[in-house]
Structure 1
Amino acid sequence: MRNYYTAIQFWSYSLLVVCLCPLAVFLGSYMGWPLGIAPLLLLAPITVLAAISSPRVCSWTITVLAVGACFSEIFFRSDISEVKTTYPLSIMSAAVLIGLTLLIDAYIGKLRGKLSQIYNQNDELVRQLYECQRETQPVSDKSPSGADKKEKMQVESKENPDAEFGVNYPLLLLTLQDIGRRISTNQSNESLIPTVISTAKASLQCEYCQVYLWDSKASALKNALPVRSRDKHEYRPVPNSGVAAWVIENRQIVMRNDAEKDYRLKRILEEDPHMPDAIAPLTVGSELIGLLIIDKVDIESPTIGRLIYILSNIYALGIKNSQLFKRIEEMASRDGLTGLLNHATFQDKLQELIKNAEAQSTTLSIIMSDIDHFKSFNDTYGHQAGDFVLKEVARIWKTVMPENAIVARYGGEEFIGVLADHEYSQAVQIAEDLRETLENCPILFEGQQLQVTASFGVTELRHPATTTNELVKVADEYLYKAKEAGRNQVAGIAPNSARKPSN
């Protein structure tokens, strides 16, 4: 009963009844109606809806509130002395509301009885069909192999109870232990998902296995592995229809054999005729991680459902741990305010790019910038304005810079970017684009238009810097030369030229 009273539907109806009470009093006073007429007209539809769509306890609670509203006019009507009929009509209105609820309750009770009768008939038909199939199975009395085979199976089942279902539980435990170890050592989805699929195929002896990850924000399913041309024949679940939608909603495993026998699931199966052998939810607690799709299982066993249940729980924990590890890794490598790479991660990325450029004899350029007069934003508009400016500048950097560029917040109001396979002239052009975008796009903060500009320093690998520290140092030198020259400009050194800033 506690669950009924915590339902949103119950509180919605209750709030609607409470809100309509004063409206009924006002309408009755304004129109001069007898007592009980206005509450009956306003609350009868709500009472009927509650009786139809709510549990019995909740519908009767709504009815009691509506009956109380019928008598509320007696205490709140300002024209009570002018109204000729008082209590009889209020009692009649209350009786009508109670009668409506009684009629609907009785009708729904009959429907439930008929539905229960249909369920029982269906179960009886299934039982009779099963018995007929058992009776009609061919048994060869002439061949002694039938009795011998039955006797042999009984002996084997006594010696090894697990052999009856074709499952070797000691081997299964060792397999599950190996699966858990392999999954716990894979901390990225790129290596974890193939492990999940390979272990599922080996354990369940199935031909096909797929993993779809659930995106709660978009309410969509995404294949955990890149789609390949040879996978076109494989099943693709739809999150809003068919068996996959039922699994997502109910968080239960659906086996195709069970769905064909259960007429409630059989109706859903008609919407999804190409359903695989099994669809299992990957859940951790109440959170849905994704779906495990199993098809073409070689061995039919009563324990296959239990095995899928165990494996899906192990896989869900492994994928959740992988997602958490990735999130922690991103938090450790990125600046919390701007979302760009932090200083330490940038240094590692830059060293790796320089090694690749040296090994392949390719170009590499670096852009470094500093927001002009940034302290004035904090002093004039507050530190929240300064933080907002940093986030907007970071957004502009991510928009203007190429997709393969490495962009980081170097420190304070300084930003830095690395352009692989870009010459000095190309880097200068990108820096000019950044400068013009910042200058021509004022930032709006709490109704205040903030004019933001920045100074830029550009340099190229081997002209003259050859190491990570030298590259950043040269870019920083030309950044401050741009500031000394008046700010809001790009300065750098072109290859094969003297070390002199070019504006």
Structure 2
Amino acid sequence: MRRLTHVACTWLVVGLGAWVLARLFSSLDLDYGGHFLVFAGLGVAAEWLAVNFPHGQLSGGFALVLATFILFGAPAAAWTGALATLISQGFWPRGNSLRTVLFNAAQHVLAVMAGNYACHRLAGPAGDQISTGQVAGLLAFSGVYFLVNHLLVSLYITTSGKYRHPLLSRGDALRWDGLTCLFCIPAGLLMSYLYRETGLSGVVLLSLLLLVIQFVLRLYVHTELANRELLALYHVARALNQKLDVQEILNLVLKETRRVVSYHSGVVYLWSGEKCCYEARAAAGPFRDKLAGSMIFKGEGFTGWVAEKGEPEIIYNAREDPRVRHEPGLFQVLRSFMIIPLLADNRKVGILVVGDKRPFAFHENHLHTISVICGQAAVAIASTLLMKQLEDSANTDGLTGIYNHRYFTYRLGVELRYARETGLPLALIMLDVDNFKLINDRFGHVAGDAVLVELARLLRDAVGERGVVCRYGGEEFAILLPGCDAARAGELAEDLRRMVREHHFAVKDMPRQVRISLGVAGYPRDARDADMLVKMADRALYGAKRTGKDRVVLYGQLADLPRQEW
């Protein structure tokens, strides 16, 4: 719906501008046709050196428009300005479609005619001599021309849904364009005066001076934007100094990239050693849902080739670039791309891909800035992953791959504090393998280790997200169950006991049946602190062992068992 509205509004403005030009043609004094062409040529130079933004441009061409309006009237100003726009943007395109070029030309025509109407209402038609009253009219012409231009640009952007320049606000564009317009008003008046006194030579010389000033303004604006890009890099560096997880870093890359350059959709792929591919881990833009979960294998397509090469690439126009013209996926729906590998010490961490529907949307300066952001992010990602590996290694049992006694102690303290704050229960299951020493003595320690590995896998898969499975020591395991009372933990323990009893352990030369005993205790009913909870669960386990093994005993049931030295 938005696209239909945008196309309708665009062609309405184009059609109205063409109709106005056709109506004005008969009013042109063609005896001055050569002069009109000179003014149009100077306008082409001004437009070509203009500083373009998605919501405006900075150009000294208004001085030529004003001088033409004063000297030859509104029809000449409309025609010369429209020709200058069509030639400058049509023959030397900067990523604009034909529809956009025609809209820009028509926008100029309508702005001239609206300004002409305002001028006539205040001071009458522009003549050969500039009276005091006409000065007010010319100021009205300039103000209305400026206003109509920005209103039409706003209409174009709003209906198209395009992103504005991420480093440039609408206020910046209005301020700079307004200052340019104020500078061009006296320049246009002076240009009309020089034309009457010296002819075209004076106009050309003054126009060359204006072009020099405009070129300096262009450098100033680019420098200002470069400073803002450096500020964006500073924000990235400061954010990465904080303790972020990998997902937060990836989201930060997409967010800060948009601070530097507008894009339609973006995705960050991260290398997955398990899947041996680059996996989409963060995405932004209208295609976010479609990009989520996508994968790129080494050397697959152009993106995979860039990832393996390790050097960033720009696609200026996917429809014309032979490298991606026939490649499926995003390359068929977007026009411009930046593909930047995330490298940390020559290690390929991931890939950033951003695309836009406009051709020539990205430039080399964008590529350089985003590459710096990606380099910072890659180092942070590599460091975060390394720290996670070290933490996992410190908290993981080397044999079974589940959490170890160290992590159990830490997690028990965390869960107990949470239980006290919320009033929720906490249960602990302690279990060990019955007659495990006989397994080691008869079948060897290799067989015993295999039993422990397979038992740990069974317990972890069965408990899942309900609790935390740890190897407490030797053949003993501990299962923490947050939010679970002793009764429900006892039911789970019974399910685990039956599951293990019925499972066929794939251990060579060993009877396949393994049995376990389990003890259960709960907070706050059975214990008030961590040490007591472990002690009570261990007593319940001891009770299960002393009363026949292969069974579950809750601490609250110990009093009903035959008397033992618990």
Cα distance between partner residues in 1 of 2:303 and 2:478: 46
Query: Which one of the candidate residues 477, 492, 502 is aligned to 2:554?
Result: 492
Query: Which one of the candidate residues 354, 357, 360 is aligned to 2:416?
Result: 354
Partner of 1:199: 256
Question: Residue 166 of structure 1: CA displacement?
Answer: 5.1
| Paired residue type of 1:263 | P
- Contact persistence 1:237–1:244 (CA under 8 A): no
Does residue 403 of structure 2 align to residue 345 of structure 1?
A: no
Closer/same/farther in 2, CA of residues 452 and 261 from structure 1, 3 Å limit:
same
Partner of 2:303: 244
Cα distance between partner residues in 2 of 1:264 and 1:186: 40
Q: Deviations over 1:261-296 (max 9, x none)?
A: 543343447982124532222233554322212245
Question: Residue 398 of structure 1: CA displacement?
Answer: 1.0
Cα distance between partner residues in 2 of 1:215 and 1:359: 39
- Contact persistence 1:362–1:421 (CA under 8 A): yes
Closer/same/farther in 2, CA of residues 233 and 407 from structure 1, 3 Å limit:
closer
Closer/same/farther in 2, CA of residues 261 and 400 from structure 1, 3 Å limit:
closer
Q: Deviations over 1:62-81 (max 9, x none)?
A: xxxxxxxxxxxxxxxxxxxx
Query: Which one of the candidate residues 354, 357, 378 is aligned to 1:294?
Result: 354
- Contact persistence 1:239–1:248 (CA under 8 A): no
Partner of 1:391: 453
Give the SS at the match of 2:296. coil
Partner of 1:25: none
Cα distance between partner residues in 2 of 1:310 and 1:447: 59
Does residue 208 of structure 2 align to residue 151 of structure 1?
A: no
Partner of 2:43: none
Query: Which one of the candidate residues 426, 436, 448 is aligned to 2:488?
Result: 426
Partner of 2:513: 451
Q: Deviations over 1:99-138 (max 9, x none)?
A: xxxxxxxxxxxxxxxxxxxxxxxxxxxxxxxxx9469x99
Does residue 323 of structure 2 align to residue 264 of structure 1?
A: yes
Partner of 2:498: 436
Partner of 1:218: 275
Correspondence list, 1:61-76, <5 A: none
Question: Residue 193 of structure 1: CA displacement?
Answer: 2.3
Partner of 1:274: 333
Tell me the TM-score normalised to structure 2 length.
0.56
Give the SS at the match of 1:367. strand
- Contact persistence 2:504–2:512 (CA under 8 A): yes
Q: Deviations over 1:295-348 (max 9, x none)?
A: 459975432222232222222222121211111111112212112222222122
- Contact persistence 2:344–2:379 (CA under 8 A): yes
Question: Residue 397 of structure 1: CA displacement?
Answer: 0.8
Give the SS at the match of 1:180. helix
- Contact persistence 1:259–1:269 (CA under 8 A): no
Question: Residue 354 of structure 1: CA displacement?
Answer: 2.3
Closer/same/farther in 2, CA of residues 353 and 237 from structure 1, 3 Å limit:
closer
- Contact persistence 2:395–2:403 (CA under 8 A): yes
Cα distance between partner residues in 2 of 1:469 and 1:271: 58
Give the SS at the match of 1:196. helix
Cα distance between partner residues in 2 of 1:178 and 1:314: 11
Query: Which one of the candidate residues 396, 401, 411 is aligned to 2:463?
Result: 401
Give the SS at the match of 2:372. helix
Cα distance between partner residues in 2 of 1:212 and 1:229: 17
Cα distance between partner residues in 2 of 1:435 and 1:352: 27
Question: Residue 362 of structure 1: CA displacement?
Answer: 2.4
Closer/same/farther in 2, CA of residues 302 and 188 from structure 1, 3 Å limit:
closer
Cα distance between partner residues in 1 of 2:283 and 2:355: 19
Partner of 1:183: 240
Partner of 2:393: 331
Query: Which one of the candidate residues 403, 406, 431 is aligned to 1:369?
Result: 431
- Contact persistence 1:211–1:224 (CA under 8 A): yes
| Paired residue type of 2:315 | R
- Contact persistence 1:400–1:430 (CA under 8 A): no
Give the SS at the match of 1:491. strand
Question: Residue 460 of structure 1: CA displacement?
Answer: 1.9
Partner of 2:540: 478
- Contact persistence 1:491–1:502 (CA under 8 A): no
- Contact persistence 1:188–1:322 (CA under 8 A): yes
| Paired residue type of 2:461 | T
Question: Residue 470 of structure 1: CA displacement?
Answer: 1.0
Does residue 314 of structure 2 align to residue 255 of structure 1?
A: yes
Closer/same/farther in 2, CA of residues 235 and 359 from structure 1, 3 Å limit:
closer
Cα distance between partner residues in 2 of 1:389 and 1:228: 50
Correspondence list, 1:299-318, <5 A: 300-318=362-380
- Of stretches 232-241 and 147-156 in structure 1, the one that deviates more from structure 2 is 232-241
Tell me the TM-score normalised to structure 1 length.
0.62
Question: Residue 150 of structure 1: CA displacement?
Answer: 2.7
Cα distance between partner residues in 1 of 2:467 and 2:435: 27
Cα distance between partner residues in 2 of 1:201 and 1:419: 44
- Contact persistence 1:166–1:301 (CA under 8 A): no
Does residue 525 of structure 2 align to residue 468 of structure 1?
A: no
Cα distance between partner residues in 1 of 2:490 and 2:206: 88
Correspondence list, 1:44-55, <5 A: none
Correspondence list, 1:121-140, <5 A: 133=91
Root-mean-square deviation (Å) = 3.9
Give the SS at the match of 2:364. coil
Partner of 2:474: 412
- Contact persistence 1:367–1:458 (CA under 8 A): yes
Q: What are the ranges of 5 or more consecutive residues in structure 2 without an aligned counterpart? A: 1-89, 94-100, 106-199
Matched positions, count: 365
Give the SS at the match of 2:501. helix
